[in-house]
Chains A and B, each alone.
Chain A
Amino acid sequence: MRKILIAASIVIIAVVSSIAVTLGGALGPLFGGVRSLAEFYLLNVFNARNETLTAMSPEAVTSIVWDYRGLDTLFETVVFYMAIIGCVALHRGIELIRKGAEIGLSRIVKTVTKILIPLNIVIAASIALHGHLTPGGGFQAGAAMAVAPIIVIVVFSRFFLIRKGITKEVALSLRSMGLLGIALVALIPLIAWAATGSTAYVMQNQMKAGSSFSFPAYVGDSLVSGSLIWYYIFEFLAVTFGFAIVFLLLSVDEKTVKKVLEGEKHGY
């Protein structure tokens, strides 16, 4: 009975939502070509002639995420920050000890992991550093990179990671550095305004109407798209070490966690 109910509800939701999207037109007309809003962005994201509207990045998604709609992404980053602060606050008082039995998995698994971890780091770094040129970006790279500490914790053990220097404190400070970097890049136009007195806006990337401030779009011959590459580098740091903290704390066994939580005088 229970299984029939589950199957029926899944089928009903799938059928109703697909009818709404295709025949009902809940998302607007499908396959109708490029809409005017998309046309605007496609025309302007990498258009050096239109100096006041361009983001100087050939990647439309990146330009929208950190330039045209930059504040939305800033608040998203803050949500992620708060979630990890919550996790750290829940696990307060738990000491991540350095020594413990490093059993881990078999030698075969460990060797394969040793080969794969550098590859993982290289791929993540390339996703982050090419985020303004090709699909990818800070959060994507951070998520790819966060897989490395998880694998190390599972294959080698938590103590191995801590002994290698990725302690909770180090991860917390690196993550805070990433967030401070994002804030700094957003506020650099204000600093320029204070220094030179010319108009500048918070989170400004390229020059806007009435403001001549702009981040350098090229360094030497390579395109860095102004502030976009900096946002991505700092977001990469913040996301990677945010996930690392969560998994370091989650890998502590339940007995230790409960002992600390119950040890407090005034309830949990």
Chain B
Amino acid sequence: MVLLAVFAGIALFFAYLAISERNLVRALIYSAVQSSAFAFIFYLLRAPDIVLVYVPISVGIYPAAILFLIRKTKEVEEP
């Protein structure tokens, strides 16, 4: 339960960083860290099937897809 709370806290903190960051690449990295914390939470909740799909998605495919999309637009969000 304590580990669960710790990872949930990390996820919340990085969600806040990802939303408030104006540089899209940095926001993407924060968001990927948040997804990784979610993967740990799924592992602690004993859902190994979800972990197996969440790790490649959160660490590999999701950041890669968004990075490709950021390359097609601007790096910094305008206020």
- Point out the residues of chain B lying under 8 angstroms from A140, CB to CB: 49, 52-53, 56
Complex partner residue of A3 from B20, B48, B56, B57, CB under 8 angstroms? B20
Contact A251 B68 (CB under 8 A): yes
Interface of B is mostly: helix
Most buried by A among B12, B55, B64, B71: B64
Q: Residue B52 contacts which of A3, A135, A250, A254 (CB distance < 8 angstroms)?
A: A135
Contact A6:B56 (CB < 8 A) given known A143-B61, A150-B61, A254-B72: no
Decide if B64 touches A150 in the complex (CB within 8 Å).
Answer: yes
Interface presence of A70 (CB below 8 A): no
| Chain B neighbourhood of A139, CB < 8 A | 53
Chain A interface mostly: helix
A-B residue pair count with CB separations less than 8 angstroms: 61
Chain B residues contacting A147 (CB-CB under 8 Å) are 56, 60-61
> Is B71's CB under 8 angstroms from A143's CB?
no
Number of A residues near B (Cβ < 8 Å) is 29
Q: Which residues of B contact A (CB under 8 A)?
A: 8, 12, 15-16, 19-20, 48-49, 51-53, 55-57, 60-61, 64-65, 68-69, 71-72
